[in-house]
Structure 1
Amino acid sequence: MVAPERVNDTEQTLAWSRELVDPALRSAVDTLPASMRRIAGYHLGWWDQHGGRTSASSGKAVRPTLTLLCAALVGGSPKEAVPAGVAVELVHNFSLLHDDVMDGDLTRRHRPTAWSLFGIGAAILAGDALLTLALDALAASAHPAAGPGMRMLSAAVQELVDGQCADMEFEQRSAVDLAECQHMAQGKTAALMGAACALGATFGGGSQEQVGRLRTFGEHVGLAFQHVDDLLGIWGDERTTGKPVYSDLRNRKKSLPVVYALTSGTPEARELAAMYAGGEPPTDEELRTAANLVDRAGGRAWSQEQADDLMARALAHLAHLPPTPSATELTDLAHHLTHRTH
């Protein structure tokens, strides 16, 4: 676990990043048509559904923080990397708006999801608007790395979309292989975190080797993050996650610990498969039973072990880069992301 004082340092780092990125992010969103600006601002926690100011959560801004820290690590200026940080945050929120629609989630960051208030079509269009705005943020920066950065981010979005498509397809299939589930998570989550790090290093003037190592660092941290997120999707406290307990099991999502359990060849795997094949919405008692089956089949322990191993591999890449304060902050942030309470 991360020591309390290091957690406090990480919170300060995240606050530093938000202070740099938020003004540019707000300026970018202000350029959207009024219809899209209203939904985006609500989703980002800036105002309520009627446009009134509010103090709702905007998220931790993890991905832009990775971008700014990676720019600093290779000797660049975090301020010059702000457009890249804005772009990755916009892409992340594009994906959240669409995810909430596809998963039918009613809460995000402890309040109603955008689609549940504004409608499915409007939320999808708002996500599309944020994706377009992300590329515009890079193009408008006039930074020498803007062109390569746009291609880098576009490639990550393609991986993200492919991963999300696979995630949805898995819900319709009775059997999913563990390797293809890991590949899905690599695209859905790890690709954008890797791109966030690579973009920062590129905007910071890093070498090809530095960009490559930081991309891999981000991808490993991203996949570890997904393992932990999947654990929270089953056993997470609603006060921490902002989503109902057992939300992934309620939606019969074939997340990483669930697929491990389903492919474990244990009696628990067969019982869990039968529950997942049911046509009726699961009761609270059935959800508790399903969570216990995943645990007893080894899914919970396996996902935590995978997260720990991925973290070790991520830090091995970071060890090849200069031991600067930014490297320490990246290390602390990675630990913070993969040691959340569940």
Structure 2
Amino acid sequence: MTSTDLVARPHVLERARTAVEPLLRAALEELPGETREVVEHGLARQDFSTAALVLLSAEAFGDADVAPVALAMEFAHLHEQLHADLAVLGSARQAFGADRVVSAADALLSLAFARLTKPEVMILNVALMSVVDGYVQEIGMDERDDADMSEYLGVAAAKHSSITAAACELGALAAGASASQAGHLRQFGDDVGMARKHVDDALAPHSGRRTLPVVAAMVAGITVAGGRKWCEQQAGLLLARALNHLRQCGPRAGAAQELTGLAGEITTARRAPVVPAQASAEPHSEGRSTTLPAACPVATSS
């Protein structure tokens, strides 16, 4: 055994950043200064897990160079994140204004498409149309009081799992996976994306917005804390389903292990620690159940 055999591989997120860094720097040079400033602001908040999903999905089946695809999907993810920032008056909109954020988001799509083949562009386009459809549906539901849990889960899937699903599918196909194998990786990414959304909403401060815990509380007549608990349970179920799809596609052992670790790291491993209940923590919880009824469905992929 040599000394290099004893050196552990860098963490997958670090490897993803390293793999796309040269291409990323070159891509940013293509942008006007004001646009690049917004993009760099967004990139500083990215964990590059989307790029990592592309790289590991490719490693699961071969040794293809998928750094351009990984960067393209990271750009697509940031495009979606900037639009989400606009919707909630986030840090980018506050720092640069809506017009500059929209321009930067559009530029990111141009950069993404330029790094993909025509078949890859078609897959990304389907994912982006799903994201747009999710936003449109969400606007309509915010104006209604009768939207049910399945509708909110459908919107969450459209907005938050389409990009991760496409990232896994594109990585697998680029490395020579069969249609069946790529389909399982797509489902893996879809479930991971939804699990992450459930955890994100469970960890988010209660601001009155209709996040999944809030909707669960509205539908089931429970506290928001109970809704958060339900979201954490759903995340665990979604992760288990994702890992089942991963096993079914027959990936290389090393890549499968890292995909399993990454999926857990960006989903259930981020759950908030258990804190003993305080009598004053939920001022409106008197006489209400803290268990979500079975009538609230388990999240399903789109």
Note the residue ranges of structure 2 that are not aligned, 5 or more in a row: 1-7, 273-302
Q: CA deviation at 1:174?
A: 2.9
May I ask how many residue pairs the two structures share in their alignment?
Answer: 263
TM-score (norm 1): 0.73
Q: CA deviation at 1:205?
A: 1.5
1:261–1:294 CA contact under 8 A, matched in 2: yes
What does the per-residue CA deviation read over 1:128-160, in whole Å, with 9 as the maximum and x for residues that have no partner?
11112111121xxxxxxx221110011101111
The amino acid that maps onto 2:69 is A
Q: What does residue range 37-56 of structure 1 map to in structure 2 within 5 Å?
A: 37-45=36-44
1:62 to 40, 43, 49: 49
1:190–1:219 CA contact under 8 A, matched in 2: yes
Q: What does residue range 51-200 of structure 1 map to in structure 2 within 5 Å?
A: 58-77=45-64, 80-105=65-90, 113-138=91-116, 146-200=117-171
**Separation in structure 1 between the aligned mates of residue 111 and residue 218 of structure 2, nearest angstrom:** 40
Tell me the equivalent position of 1:271.
none
Q: CA deviation at 1:166?
A: 2.7
Tell me the equivalent position of 1:340.
270
**Separation in structure 2 between the aligned mates of residue 152 and residue 39 of structure 1, nearest angstrom:** 26
TM-score (norm 2): 0.82
2:38–2:92 CA contact under 8 A, matched in 1: yes
The amino acid that maps onto 1:256 is L
Tell me the equivalent position of 1:325.
254
Q: CA deviation at 1:27?
A: 1.2
1:10–1:332 CA contact under 8 A, matched in 2: no
Give me the identity figure in percent.
Answer: 36
Q: CA deviation at 1:59?
A: 2.1
SS where residue 210 of structure 2 aligns?
coil
Q: CA deviation at 1:323?
A: 4.4
Q: CA deviation at 1:28?
A: 1.2
1:28–1:137 CA contact under 8 A, matched in 2: no
Q: CA deviation at 1:164?
A: 2.5
User: Aligned Cα RMSD in Å?
Assistant: 1.7
Tell me the equivalent position of 2:197.
226
Q: CA deviation at 1:34?
A: 2.8
What does the per-residue CA deviation read over 1:13-53, in whole Å, with 9 as the maximum and x for residues that have no partner?
110111001221221121123331222123323xxxxxxxx
**Separation in structure 1 between the aligned mates of residue 255 and residue 238 of structure 2, nearest angstrom:** 20
The amino acid that maps onto 2:18 is E
Q: Using a 3 Å threshold, how does the CA distance of structure 1 residues 121 and 10 change in structure 2: closer, same or farther?
A: farther
Tell me the equivalent position of 1:301.
229
Tell me the equivalent position of 1:205.
176
What does the per-residue CA deviation read over 1:39-97, in whole Å, with 9 as the maximum and x for residues that have no partner?
2123323xxxxxxxxxxxx42100010000000101132xx111111111101111111
The amino acid that maps onto 2:60 is L
Tell me the equivalent position of 1:287.
none
